[in-house]
Structure 1
């Protein structure tokens, strides 16, 4: 410790037994860097900053997800919303509460953890209940809208250089929530993308791909009939192709086309292909 209880990044990393890269990542992703910064000087951590990082290490060592651990280490208060909280709000069609819960969940856990651990199982549960009981479309619409609002609040990083990812649904494909989740997960880690949304006609897709020349094009299709209409070969001539959804099952795919198995896999694949620092 030096300079009036101020720590250098190197000293903090050595003291806590973590790499400087991890320290920078926690600062960038979770806001666990120095709380005050002096212009023109090297960043310095004070004792409170170091205590937060030590708490982060303790929590992750106990198996707490990094995003949730960071929230707790920063002094976040209140319980993280759980699966049953979402189900309860959706059963009452309580759209405002469902939106608040979903936003809090994403904030506490991060997009990927919230999506894979809670939101996806929640959507599956709603679908199964609707099938068993009949109806339920209104509940699913309320839940989907809440998720869209929460995910759109994550942010929109500034583009710098080649666009890392262009996202689009197949022609006549109306499901867009998985693409919004991917855009939010990328944005959370500082990676920009553009989402063309639902029902993108082949000509419009090709025009956007040729105009923007993104590193990666992510295409979503839940239905095989919709997937067949996508001009995959032409897209693959310009960009790497990632395919999400069950609509691609059994279809011939361009050489090199990838099918991520999860949101986390899709995010990591975009980072690898685009070369954006993660």
Structure 2
């Protein structure tokens, strides 16, 4: 159970705003202490986060409050059906081979809108990029196709709306030093935006000192560091980050398979697990 000031700090609004939402729209706490002090539970905080997201999308406060109180229906299935995923992969790959970036972007945006970031990433985008990358490796041709496909997916992820009003920073995302592959981190950021959480992405080739400085200044709940090779993963200052911050550390990407990861760091096996790690930590 949380007092109003703690909730206000968690979701990035003032205590007076919480009081106004309680009085005007009924978005108040579920309990009070024996002394009459307001106390919010996890469900109350979830409703308030929805209120912030909805008003950020332009809804009037009264309408947003009405929607926020309703438990949302599951937005997306956990996975896409194979029929839907197969059709989507075929359409995206055909557009990629024609270098039809507008069509790729349209297909990607429609997929994410209808099914969500995680199912789209797991069932369509990753298989398509893997297939295109295999062609490049085997034949030495098709780099332009792979790059344009990645660009289309990247623009789709960056178009996913973030929560309307800044709140507590749930996650700081960063590539390992000299790492230039950023797409998986953009997928994670888009998935966090869908869930109504704030994040920042430092991008590729982040020097160790810069990463440590950013963590110290921003104080995120979770730091997620991506590496696609063991050589690059070994450059990440995990122990410095651990001793200098209270943030939970998570390491992602195939590069960590060849590195002894300290016990204090989490290693998600896929995008869905990475999202859950951030949401679980930030929700506390």
Q: Is TM-score (shorter-chain normalized) higher than 0.5?
A: yes
Specify whether residues 235 and 133 from structure 1 end up closer, same or farther in structure 2 by C-alpha distance, changes over 3 A only: same
Task: Give yes or no for contact 2:118–2:271 (8 Å, CA) kept in 1.
Answer: yes
**SS of 1:233 mapped into structure 2:** helix
Task: Give yes or no for contact 1:67–1:110 (8 Å, CA) kept in 2.
Answer: no
2:147 and 2:117 map into 1 onto residues whose CA distance is 20
1:267 and 1:245 map into 2 onto residues whose CA distance is 14
Counterpart position of 1:213: 219
**Deviation string for 1:150-182 (max 9, x for gaps)?**
000102223323x21000001110000000000
Q: Across the two proteins, how many residue pairs are aligned to each other?
A: 225
Are positions 1:65 and 2:77 aligned together? yes
> Which has the larger displacement, 85-94 or 152-161?
152-161
1:42 and 1:146 map into 2 onto residues whose CA distance is 35
Specify whether residues 80 and 193 from structure 1 end up closer, same or farther in structure 2 by C-alpha distance, changes over 3 A only: farther
Aligned to 1:257, which of 262, 265, 280? Answer: 265
Deviation of 1:255 (Å): 2.4
**SS of 1:144 mapped into structure 2:** helix
Q: How does 1:20-39 map to 2 (within 5 A)?
A: 28=50, 39=62
Deviation of 1:196 (Å): 0.2
Cα RMSD of the aligned pairs, angstroms, is 3.3
Counterpart position of 2:14: none
Are positions 1:166 and 2:172 aligned together? yes
Q: How does 1:121-132 map to 2 (within 5 A)?
A: 121-132=127-138
2:222 and 2:50 map into 1 onto residues whose CA distance is 23
Specify whether residues 233 and 80 from structure 1 end up closer, same or farther in structure 2 by C-alpha distance, changes over 3 A only: same
Q: How does 1:44-193 map to 2 (within 5 A)?
A: 65=77, 82-157=88-163, 158-161=165-168, 163-193=169-199
Task: Give yes or no for contact 1:68–1:108 (8 Å, CA) kept in 2.
Answer: no
Structure 2: state its 5+ residue gaps. Answer: 1-42
1:252 and 1:170 map into 2 onto residues whose CA distance is 15
Deviation of 1:144 (Å): 0.5
TM-score for both structures, normalised by structure 1: 0.72
Specify whether residues 41 and 236 from structure 1 end up closer, same or farther in structure 2 by C-alpha distance, changes over 3 A only: closer
> Which has the larger displacement, 201-210 or 121-130?
121-130
Structure 1: state its 5+ residue gaps. Answer: 1-20, 70-78
1:104 and 1:210 map into 2 onto residues whose CA distance is 38
Are positions 1:273 and 2:281 aligned together? yes
